[in-house]
Structure 1
Amino acid sequence: MNWQKFFNIKLSLIFFLSSLISYSQNLTELQNKYPDESEIALEVSEHYFISLNKNNEIEVKSNSVEDYLLLKNTSAGVSINESLVFSELISVTAFEAYTIGNEAEKFKKTPVKIIVDKPYNSSSVFDSDTKLKVFTFSNLSQGTRKVLKHNLDFKDPMLLHRFNFTAGIPSVSRKIVLTVDKSIEIGYKIFNDTDHLVKLTTEENKKNTTYTFVINDAPIFRNEPKTAGRSYELPHLHFWISSYTIKGEKTPVFGKVEGLYKYYSDFIKNVNKTEDPALKKFTLELVKDAKTNDEKMEKIFKFAQEQIKYVAFESGYEGFIPRNASLVFERKFGDCKDMSSIMTEMAKYAEVPNVNLTWIGTRELPYSYEELPTPAVDNHMIATYERNGEIIFLDATDSQVPFGLPSEFIQGKEALISNGDLFKIVKVPTLTADQNKYEDVYSYVLNGNKIEGKGKLKTNGLTRSYYLNVMSDISKNRKKYIEGILERGNDKLNVVSFTENNIQDKTLPYEIDYIFENDNYVVHAGDETYLNMFLHKPLIDLIFDEERKTTADLDRLQNFEFKTAFKIPENTKVTYVPENVTFEDAFIKYKINFNKTANEILLNYTIENKKTYIKPSEVKSWNESLKKLKSNLNETIVIKKA
């Protein structure tokens, strides 16, 4: 008999039974501690093994455990799905899923029977090998545990997962363990742990070093409106291969931007090596009337925006390697890398210098290249065009952004520009509020309880592109969306008719000429009528919960400008007009100006947000600013019968 094996089995059984008794005893304690929670994570752990195989290649494998306890009864016989993600680059080598019954069920272990592989559906992904393995846990009740264990094999050891130390439910313990061969050096960084809740211990033997990062009673982070990205506040760990040593020769990998650029360069080194006569001929025809390089690039950029349909590819290394421009031109569709590939190649044919492939992370990723020089810093690719020391950011995935402006979701981010053996890191500017203007001029009259009027709305910059991007996906009820843009007064707004201008010409403001009416908008009290002239009240619906834990992203700086005229009804007089107001602080600024004439009341007001990110520590002050604005926008004029 193998006594060591028998001893290990017996020890595991004792540990398993003792854990059941422990959790049974602690159920009431956990219910009292988390009275509003229906579920808790007893353990979430990942153990990575990083080593060199017989061929001196780096291998990364992981074992994971997720163990959840139900604190409340749910619907009878309820089923809950849990899933894990896998792909060509990250394969599942083993898995086990089961429930452990509550005390009344004598802690019976029941394997999950319904296990289904499903595509990882995303409306923006055309071709993906990413899949979900979905486990259906059945007949769950108070005190039941659901356990999921799985092992992963990472085909590319440079593409490693981050580990989150928090979740949307309470966690007793969340842990990541890294067991690393002595011939391999790793780097790691813990983000958002200012209170040092994550504890690190290390152990060494002759062959390995083991790093254990653990957090107990982790804080809860739930989904909140307009969240910038979970990585802004959630405590999490990134780790990477820094170097490995074979026969005394040390090879650096990550840890500096140079290593990241070298890794990226391998993905693009064989792209667009052969000239494509058809694409070259088309390009020369496209730019033949252009007199400057700027005009050439504007035409190329517009072609990529309008003629290359954006679809994402996430199948193996296709998610990292741009396709040749010839193939993109032939198929007329591609992802962000493909759009960048065809723009850079067309620029070459048009003899426009300094147009290069560029990696970038969108705004949901908070990292700089210095603090995280690994592939986790990026999730997007664009092209950049440099002339006279200025860089134009060309993101053709935004089909509406004008040439010369960055897309909304890369503002303020660092970009890594490729140029052969060299690279450059530059920061994308954040557009000013005046560049993203919402300008509305309208006049109206009072007809009983209804107001009736007409006006013209102009939007430019990223405000323009935002509205047109959303409307490009709307095939029905465009009128309803126009009413949403105008936000006239109350939910009784009816846009009687409208005309849109400059939809195709991105150099001009997007305009809407409209005729509108609002029923039941005014309030009558005796011989007095109360009218709120602020038919549009920007920002005030962005008052956040003051217990908010995550940074809010307002997407863009924006200037709202309104010029309104109300015709005073005959045989009436205006007995009250609100005072003019000017206000500015760190978050917003606004100016309100009333002007009463013999026949009209003119109201001009401007409102501007001065920040795109609102941190949790700023929410209270932000709310106070908006409450002041809301108070001013709720002021009414008073009209009395003469």
Structure 2
Amino acid sequence: MKKMIAAAFLFVATATGTSAQTPADLVRYSALTIPDSLKKGADAVFRLDEESIEVFSPSRYNLTSHQIITLLNKDAAGFLHQSYWFDKFNKIDDIEVKLFNSLGMEIKKFKKKDFETSAYNDYMSLHTDDKMMRLYVPSADYPCTIEVIYTKKVTGYIGLPASVIQSPNRSVENYIYQIKVPKDLDIHFKTGNTQLKPEVTKTADAILYQWKAQNLKAIRSERGSWNSYVNYPHIQIAPAKFEYDGTKGSSNTWKEFGQWAWPLYDDPAPFTATRLNEIKNLVASVTDPREKIKILYRHLQKNNRYVSIQLGIGGFKPFAVSFVDDKKYGDCKALTNYMRYMLKAVDINSWPALINAEYNNPPVDPNFTANRFNHVILCVPLQQDTVWLECTSNTRDMNDLGSFTENRYALLLLPEGGKLVATPKSKSSQNKLITSSEIKVNKEGEAEMTANITCSGNFYEHFHYAQQLEREELKRFLVQYLEYKSPEDFKFEELSATGNKNFRINFTYDQVYDFKAGNKFFFRPRMYNICDEDIKPDSNRTKDFIFEFPYEKTDTTVYLLPDGFTVEGLPPVKELDTQYGYYRKEVIRNATGNGITIISQLNLKKHIIPAKEYRALADFFQSVNKTDGARLVIIGE
């Protein structure tokens, strides 16, 4: 290896005829100098990952980052796409990007002027003042090395950036993370999935925290776990004091953080006297508080829509209630506050609740105060229980939050400050999918199928979304998401006459069976997969497995066969019952006519499975898929 590197150095010196890069530079950037132990299981090697933060005041800090990353293969190509977010409080002061070949020779260099700048698109906001700098660094071959050095100046903040020490399929040769703060400000920090401790240096007026690590071997990715940096080695930092857009706060406790956020939701003149009377008249004949909440929540859903606009402090402060009332739209903060003031108009108190939404986003830590919130919902405490409202949804029932915000902590904003409380836990009984299908088959194997579907909870959200799609998109939803056998034609409709959670789908098939051998036709047990979980055994699993939500699925499929067709034996009843799920499948002959009925049930009892129980979970679903995938054999004429 040493001879190979020496030969490479000699080639570089001869070919370039320049002293711009020294042998030491080539050692630093060459892929040839990476130890084999750091290449194993890695797509990229961080030769250097150094980040330094210097805090000057509660509203100002500078961040300097220096990374040297060797990309071993095309799976690391994402590093060639450099992008940086900024706004009026966060400015990229300077940036330089260099590309090196496998020998460590510099072949391209880019500066700030080479980046393209555009408005930031989060695919849900109508307008923001956020922007993005983007640069694509073309590379002809792998391995190659990219070096990025930049400085960011921040003039308003609520939190300080976390540091991810290592992510999947990445090894780290040298890691340095440091933060310097004035002694009267200080910070609090939390490490996760690492034993790293900081070196702390104190002077008369400042404190320096520094974490270092070397030669961290690659860790593997585990599908279906928490979708966040907290799943991997990391350091979280939070300021004791902060200042953002003229507002001052602290995050020593959740109560203190709530004291900063609470005034942002205050609206001294939410409604005119006329509008206030109109709201009161909506519930004038009702005395039950729950019924009043239900009526006003439906009023919100029918008359308002979700639109995200994030401008300056508006990213944290809702629009005025009168704005929402007039325009009939708002973001999560604005709609939540609008609903809060409607309830207040009829003497019902409620509280905005900050939350980090999404089913695979881990809950905030009750013992570590840091802003990881991305959404707002409404909490309505009553004398006997509590009602939760998702004010951005036009379809969800009162007290039905869904997988987006269940199973986590929410920070209630109260006059006295913040209070962290748990949101409701997901229940399988809230997410039901009941399907009843009749398939009429002729002698040529053509078929017409009618599927009647009753659903609730998250399943209803999916079907409600589907009915709004264009025809081709709807077909992709049925075939790719629900995994129905692709039809020649179909009709999808909501049965509003029987309730708003019932649907009917009519399918036609030119060939309903999967394949045939002689006079034997092989049919699916139903035209879709009741089990869409592909969970493979993994004895080395270290992360919890997260389903979107627990559920209860029931399917009854009736095949009406032409005369002369018979079933080649009926399989025995199959039943599996574990702490994670329940499955049952039964095939019976129809009481009248020529045909068979398949009755299937699949329940997912728990949606968060600890890593130590993953193998048993995988065994359950492997058994379900094997049993449920068995074809029915029909003997034709």
Counterparts of 1:210 and 1:578, CA distance in 2? 70
Which residue does the alignment assign to 1:62?
63
Q: Match of 2:5?
A: none
Matches within 5 A, 1:451-530: 451-472=447-468, 474-477=469-472, 479-480=474-475, 483-484=478-479, 487=482, 490-491=485-486, 493-502=487-496, 508-517=500-509, 519-530=511-522
Q: 1:536 corresponds to which letter in structure 2? A: Y
Which residue number corresponds to residue 569 of structure 2?
Answer: 576
212-221 or 298-307, which deviates more: 212-221
Name the amino acid aligned to 1:27.
L
- Indicate the SS of the match to 1:175: strand
Report the secondary structure of 1:533's partner residue.
coil
Query: What is the correspondence of 1:100-111 to structure 2 with a 5 Å cutoff?
Result: 101-102=100-101, 107=106, 110-111=109-110
Structure 1: stretches of 5+ with no match in the other structure: 1-13, 245-250
Q: Is the 8 A contact 1:20 1:107 kept in 2?
A: no
1-structure distance, mates of 2:451, 2:275? 46
Aligned-pair CA distance for 1:469: 3.2
Q: 1:564 to 1:186 in 2, by over 3 A?
A: same
Hey, what does 1:137 align to over in structure 2? 137
TM-score by structure 1 length?
0.84
Aligned to 1:416, which of 391, 400, 411?
411
- The letter of the residue matching 1:46 is E
Deviations, residues 551-577 of structure 1 (Å, cap 9, x unaligned): 543221111101222234423443410
Aligned AA (2:299): F
1:613 aligns with 2:608: yes
Q: Deviations over 1:107-129 (max 9, x none)?
A: 47734351222222121012212
SS in 2 for 1:328: helix
Aligned partner of 1:152 in structure 2 is 152
Alpha carbons 1:574, 1:640 under 8 Å: kept:
yes
Q: Secondary structure at the match of 1:563?
A: strand
- TM-score normalised by length of structure 2: 0.85
RMSD (Å) for aligned C-alpha atoms: 3.6
Does the residue aligned with 1:170 lie in a helix, a strand or coil?
strand
- Work out the CA distance in 1 between the residues paired with 2:632 and 2:138: 61
Decide whether aligned partners of structure 1 residues 266 and 230 sit closer, same or farther in structure 2, where only a CA change above 3 A counts: same
- Offset from partner CA, 1:154-192 (integer Å, 9 cap, x none): 333432211111235433233320112222332100123
2:553 maps to 560
Could you tell me which of 523, 533, 536 is aligned with 2:525? Answer: 533
**2: CA distance, partners of 1:359 / 1:38:** 37
Aligned residues: 607
Q: What's 1:375 paired with?
A: 371
Distance change >3 Å, CA 538–CA 155, structure 1 → 2:
farther
Mapping of 1:91-102 within 5 angstroms? 91-92=91-92, 94-99=93-98, 101-102=100-101
Residue 210 of structure 2: aligned partner: 212
- Match of 2:276? 280
Question: Residue type matched to 1:241 in 2?
Answer: P
> What is the distance in 1 between the residues matched to 2:571 and 2:103?
69
Structure 1 137/423 Cα, relative in aligned 2: closer, same or farther at 3 Å?
closer
Contact 1:255 1:373 in 2 (8 A): yes
Task: Return the letter of the residue paired with 1:431.
Answer: S
- Between the aligned partners of 1:105 and 1:225, the Cα distance in structure 2 is 34
Equivalence map 1:314-329=2 (5 Å): 314-329=310-325
* Partner SS state of residue 615, structure 2: helix
Q: For 2:80, what is the secondary structure of its paired residue?
A: strand
> Is contact 2:556–2:600 with CA below 8 Å preserved after alignment?
yes
Q: Indicate conservation of the 8 Å contact 2:494/2:501, yes or no.
A: no
Q: What secondary structure is seen at the aligned counterpart in 2 of 1:135?
A: strand
Q: Counterpart in 2 of 1:10?
A: none
- Aligned residue in 2 for 1:302: 298
> CA 1:183–1:629 in structure 2 vs 1: closer, same or farther (change >3 Å)?
same
- Secondary structure of the structure 2 residue equivalent to 1:542: coil
Q: What per-residue deviation string (whole Å, max 9, x for no partner) do you get for residues 410-466 of structure 1?
A: 011112223322554332223322221110112223322234332311111221123
1:9 corresponds to? none
1:571 counterpart SS class: coil
| Counterpart Cα distance in 1 of 2:150 and 2:387 | 46
> What secondary structure is seen at the aligned counterpart in 2 of 1:521?
coil
Report the CA distance between 1:303 and its aligned residue.
Answer: 3.0
1:95-494 to structure 2, matched below 5 A, reads 95-99=94-98, 101-102=100-101, 107=106, 110-112=109-111, 114-138=114-138, 145-167=145-167, 169-193=170-194, 196=195, 198-218=196-216, 220=218, 227-242=225-240, 253-268=250-265, 270-273=266-269, 275-277=271-273, 279-288=275-284, 290=286, 292-349=288-345, 351-362=346-357, 363-376=359-372, 378-421=373-416, 423-447=418-442, 448-472=444-468, 474-477=469-472, 479-480=474-475, 483-484=478-479, 487=482, 490-491=485-486, 493-494=487-488
Q: Note the alpha carbon deviations across 1:52-91, whole angstroms, 9 max, x for none.
A: 4xxxx564222111222344699xxx99331222222323
1:22-101 equivalent positions in 2, closer than 5 A: 22-23=27-28, 27-29=32-34, 33-34=38-39, 39-52=44-57, 59-71=60-72, 80-92=80-92, 94-99=93-98, 101=100
Mapped to 2, the partners of 1:576 and 1:63 lie a distance apart of 71
- Change in CA separation of 1:252 and 1:562 when aligned onto 2, cut-off 3 Å: closer
1:247 is aligned to none
Pair 1:330–1:190, CA change in 2 (3 A): same
Q: In structure 2, do the counterparts of structure 1 residues 312 and 551 end up closer, same or farther at CA, with 3 Å as the change threshold?
A: farther
The 2-side partners of 1:395 and 1:619 are apart by 32
| Equivalent-residue separation in structure 2 for 1:137 and 1:515 (angstroms) | 49
Q: Retained in 2: the 8 A contact 1:577–1:638?
A: no
Separation in 1, partners of 2:44, 2:430: 47
CA 1:541–1:367 in 2, change beyond 3 Å: closer, same or farther?
A: closer
Could you say what secondary structure the match of 1:410 adopts? coil
- Could you list the per-position Cα deviations for residues 520-545 of structure 1 after superposition, in whole angstroms to 9, with x for gaps in the alignment? 51543334434332333223443257
For 2:73 and 2:414, locate their aligned partners in 1 and report how far apart those are by CA, in whole Å: 58
What are the superposed Cα offsets for residues 267-324 of structure 1, whole Å, 9 maximum, x if unpaired?
23x4344543354244235444545332332232223334322122332211111122
Cα distance in structure 2, aligned partners of 1:88 and 1:117: 14
Q: State the partner residue of 1:6.
A: none
Q: Kindly provide the amino acid, as one letter, of the partner of residue 512 in structure 1.
A: R
Larger mean CA deviation between 435-444 and 595-604 belongs to 595-604
- Map of 2:12 onto structure 1: none
Q: Counterpart amino acid of 1:131?
A: K
| Whole-Å separation in 1 of the counterparts to 2:207 and 2:260 | 26
CA contact (8 A) 1:170 1:217 kept: yes
Q: Is the 8 A contact 1:272 1:345 kept in 2?
A: no
Task: Please report how far the alpha carbon of residue 50 of structure 1 lies from its aligned counterpart in structure 2 after TM superposition.
Answer: 2.3
Whichever residue aligns with residue 309 of structure 1, its letter is R
Over the matched positions of the two proteins, sequence identity in percent amounts to: 15
Change (3 A) 1:42 1:391: same
Distance of 1:25 and 1:160 partners within structure 2: 34
- Structure 2 residue 570 is matched with structure 1 residue 587: no
Partners of 2:189 and 2:51 lie apart in 1 by: 15
Residues in 1 aligned to 2:107 and 2:449: alpha-carbon distance in whole angstroms: 71
1:235 positional shift: 1.8
8 Å CA contact retained: 2:99, 2:146: yes
* Distance (Å, rounded) in 1 between the aligned partners of 2:441 and 2:394: 41
Residues 49 and 223 (structure 1), Cα distance of their counterparts in 2 relative to 1, 3 Å cut: same
Please report how far the alpha carbon of residue 28 of structure 1 lies from its aligned counterpart in structure 2 after TM superposition: 4.8
